[in-house]
Structure 1
Amino acid sequence: MDATNARNGALNAMRKGHAVRIVFHGKQNAIIRGPASVGSLSIHSAADPQKIGPGTSASIAPFTRLRELELMHHWCTKTCHSFTVKLTDVFQSHAVKEALKHEYLADSLLALTSLHIASETSDPVVAASYVNTALQYQNNAVPTFRAALQNVTQSNCDAIFTSSILTMACSIVSPLLPAGDNDKAKSPTESILLLYDFVNGISSVVDISRQWLESGPYRVIFRSSSQREVEPLRESEALPAIIQLMNLNNTVTGIANSPLHQTYECAIGQLKKCFGEDKHSAVTWLAMAGEDFTNQLQKREPMALLIFMYWGVLLDKLDEMWWAKYSGRKIVEELSENLRGYGNEWEEATRWAKIQVGL
């Protein structure tokens, strides 16, 4: 099977289906809904998907053993830093301990690490090898992860929450990384739109298991803003550009009280808020912008795309979140080309975004 079909198999197996009401609701991902028709998974890990006992280690291919050793080293030294500083210790130690008990978490952890290495690799052949490894792990994680979601408990909520976050990052960045000569990277805009559903899905996980998560290693996430250190993104530096977006919205949509004007105004307002508050709130901006805005993005309406490109600038500022930073730069790179020819104000807005991400 070629890499394109392999990637589709990994993603399609997690697309929305009938809601698993016993657990929670949402869209797009096995974290949220059970697929209406999953079918058989199209690729499998190089290792036996069943747990391998101490006496069967000789059956593991040497390449697989070396690759997984490499991936675990990379996870513990680099990829565990992929989210926030406060969570580094949790991902470096606690997540690994949970992965020893939950196979879907081990697969998710190794998948994201593979993509991390691929994103840093200049040799396309070597990078493709890691992307394909990631796709194998993503596919392997789906059935056991989906089964676990039927019964979220205190003993597995940490593993499910961690897997939700890792799967979100994997599903956003993996389509941007070609897995071979015949595989084309997906549009960054299409890829990142998955984030809307993932953020809502993770919120659903939290709704069910908040009391357990708050009493465990992830409690740092649930502190109020007054209890945790915030890292603002210097709102004053972006304010002129935000004002320009507001002016363009007035020009493009015309009527200030029209539903479309209000949709864009809300999205811009949330963007302005993200620039002035804790920078990590930038990841959830798309969910805060709302479904109406997401619908305009899916229609590829120019004003929505311009606002979205400015969010790409925000993502590019998340240095430790390499998967978000990688996606943010790709968004600006793609949309700066797509938004050509709309006039001087649009060109000026596009130029600002490109400068911010170093293009």
Structure 2
Amino acid sequence: MPPRRSHTKSRAGCQQCKTRRKKCDETGPPCMNCSPRNLDCKYPGTGFQHSHWSDQAQEIRQAQDENPTPPGKPSGDSSTKRMRELGLMHHWCLKTYRSFSPELSDIFQNYTVQLAMNHEFLMDSLLAFTCLHIAAEGTEFVPRSASILDDALRYQERALPAFRAKLVQISSSNCEALLLCSMIMMAFAAVSPFFDATNDSETNKDSETGHTSLTSIFFFVKGIHSVIESSQPWLDKSPLNSAIQLYPKEYWTASPPTGSAIPPELRSLCDHTSLQSREIYARAILMLENCSERDKGMTLAWVVEVGEAFVSLVQEKEPLALLIYICWGALIGRSKDSWWETLAGQTVVKRLKSLVSIEDEETSVVLNWASERIASEKS
């Protein structure tokens, strides 16, 4: 009996390749089949799609192919690369692990590193996020920042395909690494538009690109939900149990506290919307009012809990949805304990307010409140 041929079909290919019955190389988004055709490259079950950061990483790879590093140069030296990654890991263990909730600091400092030793996609996402942290420490952008941002892109681009493939094969052996990776990638997606804005290139000024990069955080929120829903029994028994304890429903639906920081004009604007979307907006506003003066973790949790119906309105650039999201940015931008939340919130306010037309006094009041809020935090 002739030996059986090894399996060569793509098991985790993009939707375009599956539709066209082409073998996907699974390196995207975008994959090598979709990239030359400028197709909308998406992968089933993950929510990941073509992004501005993918474009930048592809340009870096093309530049490397056209101008290969001569032998003997530091970037081609494996020992130099190893020392650089040891330096990144040292920075993570010394500083970057504090970027998340204080209650989870031990998990991110120790347990995450242990898991990363056995899951390369987690290690790459950890290193990518650390690169952004190092770049953020020098916001004046000294020359090393350009290089460290390139490294961040390369690590993130390398982590995505493996992470995406594992996300459709969640098991007891990888669910912890997937959950931690999705949390780190969510933070990466939230803060990365800040560096686009700082670089101030023509591409980054494009409103469509800016909107997409600022809402990409929601794709990773879906990843968090997917991991928790698929592996709840395993996670309940793991050290990550505290990381999946979401706020009770009554926290979000209670009457908002007196003197909520959210401008009351938001509710006036909500009353003028269609009945179909009014309930969605009212729920999102109530949740934001309830988290505005509570613990800081609840403000971050809002973006996870607000729901897909509201997310769809943000992605469709509905004015009130953008205004509510801007208010979230103003609240999270007040954080003095988390560098990435501060930068992410300030960038959301600055970049999205240009997409909102000021057609009434209420809208103007809300935008001015958000701008003044992040200005006062910076000072």
Q: Considering the TM-score relative to the shorter chain, is it more than 0.5?
A: yes
Q: Which has the higher contact order (CA 8 A, sep 6+)?
A: 1
Identical aligned residues as a percent: 32
Deviations 1:318-355 (A, max 9, x none): 33332222111111122344446434332222222122
The corresponding residue for 1:158 is 176
In the alignment, does 2:143 pair up with 1:125? yes
Per the normalisation by structure 2, the TM-score is 0.71
| Corresponding residue to 2:105 among 74, 77, 88 | 88
Indicate the larger mover: 181-190 or 105-114. 181-190
Deviations 1:1-28 (A, max 9, x none): xxxxxxxx87646x97453xxxxx4522
SS at match of 1:238: coil
In the alignment, does 2:226 pair up with 1:208? no
The corresponding residue for 1:104 is 121
Unaligned runs of 5+ in 1: 1-8, 20-24, 31-39, 47-58, 227-233
Per the normalisation by structure 1, the TM-score is 0.75
The corresponding residue for 1:244 is 265
Which whole-Å CA distance do the structure 1 matches of 2:142 and 2:359 have between them?
Answer: 35
Q: What pairs up with 1:51-62 in 2 under 5 angstroms?
A: 60-62=77-79
CA contact (8 A) 2:189 2:216 kept: yes
SS at match of 1:357: helix
Which whole-Å CA distance do the structure 2 matches of 1:311 and 1:68 have between them?
Answer: 35
The corresponding residue for 2:312 is 295
| Corresponding residue to 2:352 among 305, 310, 335 | 335
Query: AA paired with 1:129?
Result: S
Which whole-Å CA distance do the structure 2 matches of 1:213 and 1:16 have between them?
Answer: 31
Indicate the larger mover: 294-303 or 87-96. 294-303
The corresponding residue for 1:194 is 216
Unaligned runs of 5+ in 2: 1-26, 32-39, 51-57, 65-75, 249-255
Shift of 1:77: 1.5
Which whole-Å CA distance do the structure 2 matches of 1:103 and 1:125 have between them?
Answer: 29
The corresponding residue for 2:335 is 318
The corresponding residue for 1:167 is 185
SS at match of 1:174: helix
Distance 1:183 1:63, change over 3 A: farther
The corresponding residue for 2:157 is 139
Which whole-Å CA distance do the structure 2 matches of 1:344 and 1:135 have between them?
Answer: 41
Distance 1:149 1:333, change over 3 A: closer
The corresponding residue for 2:47 is 27
Deviations 1:183-218 (A, max 9, x none): 744765432322223212211101222222222221
Distance 1:246 1:143, change over 3 A: closer
Which whole-Å CA distance do the structure 1 matches of 2:289 and 2:332 have between them?
Answer: 14
Which whole-Å CA distance do the structure 2 matches of 1:71 and 1:183 have between them?
Answer: 31
What RMSD over aligned residues (CA atoms) do the two structures have, in Å? 3.3
